[in-house]
Structure 1
Amino acid sequence: MSEHTPAPTPARSLYGFFMYLLSKTVLAIYLIWALTPDYYLHYFNIYYYPQRYWATAVPIQCLVALTIFAFFVYPSSNLMLTSKIDGISTISDCFSQEGAENFRSNNIKSSKCICVNEKKCKKYSFSTSIRETKEDGVPLLHDLNIRVVCKKLYLNK
């Protein structure tokens, strides 16, 4: 029994080749039907074929359907699958990694400030733990608690 794999197999290569030939043949027949005058088709005893109107109507209808799908159906389905704005799942979920130690009161503070205006200095606004302050180190990626973010942004102490 063979495994299900996306790797090419002889059967898949044959299917791909015949689909390629079929698509090129259908395109050639469509272009011959859409572009040649009627008297050439009548010369080859081809009398029963669709009107030329359908040569442009079907591709335009396909493009309109694609446009409706791209601008209305797809975004609408995404909006229906999105959580409510006031739901707790928009703030945290089962994959959240909150860094609780990042907002303790033991802030590491540098001794010198490079700010021009001391009243607008922001050097004490960033909090971190001692574990994350290794030299040339980047803090670990984590989610911020919404309560702490709101407290830092909107509460003046």
Structure 2
Amino acid sequence: MPQPSPGPSPERAAYGFVLYLASYILFALFVIWAYVPDEVLHSIGLTYLPTKAWAIVLPILGCIGAVSIPVVYFIINILHTQALEEEIEIHSKSNIPEPTIQNFDLSSGSVPPIVELDLATVCRHLNLGKDKLSPAS
């Protein structure tokens, strides 16, 4: 059984082309409905149409959705992030604790041992400037 791939395929190309054409056709129909007077639409037999107010409401709703969806995702991620003080972090028993790495000699060009850094220490080093770093308490 072939594995799914994110690469291009003939089926995806066909679906993409159909969606491309459908989006232009729907946009053209929307513009025609928004700009053509109701009398002309009624004369060709189109009587069951929404009011013209939706011609303004739909683009506004689209803009509000485009702005609010990333904000909502950001808020959800913030709410699901654990505090630094939580003991939910995963610690491996095979890693060397952080203070013993200071005794390792790196002058020979060797690779330092694997250590488990505290999350607060990593955040402090990533988010503070060099002049604001203070020893961990």
Q: Scaled by the length of structure 2, what TM-score is found?
A: 0.63
Specify the SS of the correspondent of 2:48: coil
| Residue in 2 that maps onto 1:117 | none
Letter in 2 for 1:86: E
| Residue in 2 that maps onto 1:153 | 135
Q: CA RMSD in A?
A: 3.6
Specify the SS of the correspondent of 1:60: helix
**Is 2:101–2:115's contact at 8 Å kept on the other side of the alignment?**
no
- CA shift, 1:32, in A, is 1.1
Q: Deviations over 1:36-71 (max 9, x none)?
A: 333443454433321110011122123323433332
- CA shift, 1:140, in A, is 8.1
Length, aligned pairs only: 123
CA distance in 1, matches of 2:43, 2:108: 85
Percentage of identical aligned residues: 26
**Is 1:133–1:139's contact at 8 Å kept on the other side of the alignment?**
no
Counterparts of residues 108-119 of structure 1 (less than 5 Å): none
Counterparts of residues 3-152 of structure 1 (less than 5 Å): 3-71=3-71, 73-89=72-88, 93-94=91-92, 100-104=99-103, 129-130=104-105, 132-134=106-108, 144-145=117-118
CA distance in 2, matches of 1:31, 1:98: 65
CA distance in 1, matches of 2:32, 2:96: 61
CA distance in 2, matches of 1:40, 1:98: 79
Q: Scaled by the length of structure 1, what TM-score is found?
A: 0.57
CA distance in 1, matches of 2:27, 2:114: 52
Greater radius of gyration (CA) = 1
Larger relative contact order (CA 8 Å, sep ≥ 6): 1
The gaps in structure 2 that reach 5 residues or longer are 125-133
